[in-house]
Amino acid sequence: MEETERPEILQLTDIKFSYRSGDFHLNIPNLTVLTGEKVAVIGPSGSGKTTLLSLAAGILTPKKGNVTIDGQVINAKGDKSRRDYRISNIGFIFQDFGLIDYLDIRDNILHPYRITKALKLDAEVKDRARLLADQIGIGNKLRRHPADLSHGERQRVAICRALLHKPKLILADEATGNLDPDNKIHILDLLFQTVQEQKATILAVTHDQELLTHFDRVINFRDFLSGGQDEK
């Protein structure tokens, strides 16, 4: 299929966003990501790259404009509906991992299934969690806790959790930032393999210039910044 024939999976239209404090303002006239695309987002500190991912996930809502995923206007949904949609359809790899200290690694990976009725936890899901953990190199650490793992290992746990429910859209905030060069490419290959197998899409924030050639397209977020200096 030619890229021009791919349907849109994500579209941000006439977006205006600012935080209650500070002078950060984000304006996105139009940003479209096609199904199956691997898109990298680069830009200086303060340009709103992480804010973009939070808007795309429905964690934040714009003051004006629409965020549309697979034909649904996400910001038009209520809080619970946005949360359920995000858990069911979006894999978010947080820069700070978002792991729960008192849960072991296995339960951290399975956690989204335990906090919503939108996902059903069964034997197949548990088997897939073990398989992903093996593929990503943490299969022997499932009974440990986050504090027992290195930064790179915690990053892999976060990636497993994000991929477990076979999301349509993967949002990655520096997903390979804590990995050594060899593992960086291995994890990126796993993400891209998942995109291909599941006909999913990845939108990834990265500061790693060496990885950009692996993506279909690179968006420089400097163009969307209007005021503000703090990284968001």
Residue 230 inside a domain? The answer is no
Query: Residue range 5-33: average pLDDT?
Result: 90
Identity of residue 118: A
Mean of pLDDT over the chain: 88
pLDDT at residue 225, rounded to an integer: 56
Cα(184)–Cα(20) distance, integer angstroms: 36
The per-residue pLDDT for range 109-138, each reduced to its tens digit, is 999 999 888 899 999 999 999 999 998 889
Q: What's the number of domains the chain is made of?
A: 1
Residue 231 inside a domain? The answer is no
pLDDT at residue 228, rounded to an integer: 38
Residue 26 inside a domain? The answer is yes
Range of the domain at 140: 3-224
Look at residue 142 and tell me whether its pLDDT is greater than 90: yes
Cα(157)–Cα(177) distance, integer angstroms: 14
pLDDT category at 81 given cuts 50, 70, 90 is very high
Look at residue 3 and tell me whether its pLDDT is greater than 60: no
26 close to 227: Cβ distance less than 8 angstroms: no
Residue 229 inside a domain? The answer is no
Would you say the pTM of this structure is higher than 0.85? yes
Residue 232 inside a domain? The answer is no
| Local structure of 203: helix, strand or coil | strand
- Give the chain's end-to-end CA distance (angstroms, integer): 36
According to DSSP, the residues that pair with 33 across neighbouring strands are 10
Query: Residue range 69-97: average pLDDT?
Result: 92
Query: Residue range 45-62: average pLDDT?
Result: 91
CATH number at residue 54: 3.40.50.300
Burial of 182 (0-12, 13-18, 19+ CB in 10 A): exposed
Look at residue 139 and tell me whether its pLDDT is greater than 90: yes
**Order of strands across the sheet that contains 169-173:** 90-93, 169-173, 201-205, 38-42, 217-220
Look at residue 1 and tell me whether its pLDDT is greater than 50: no
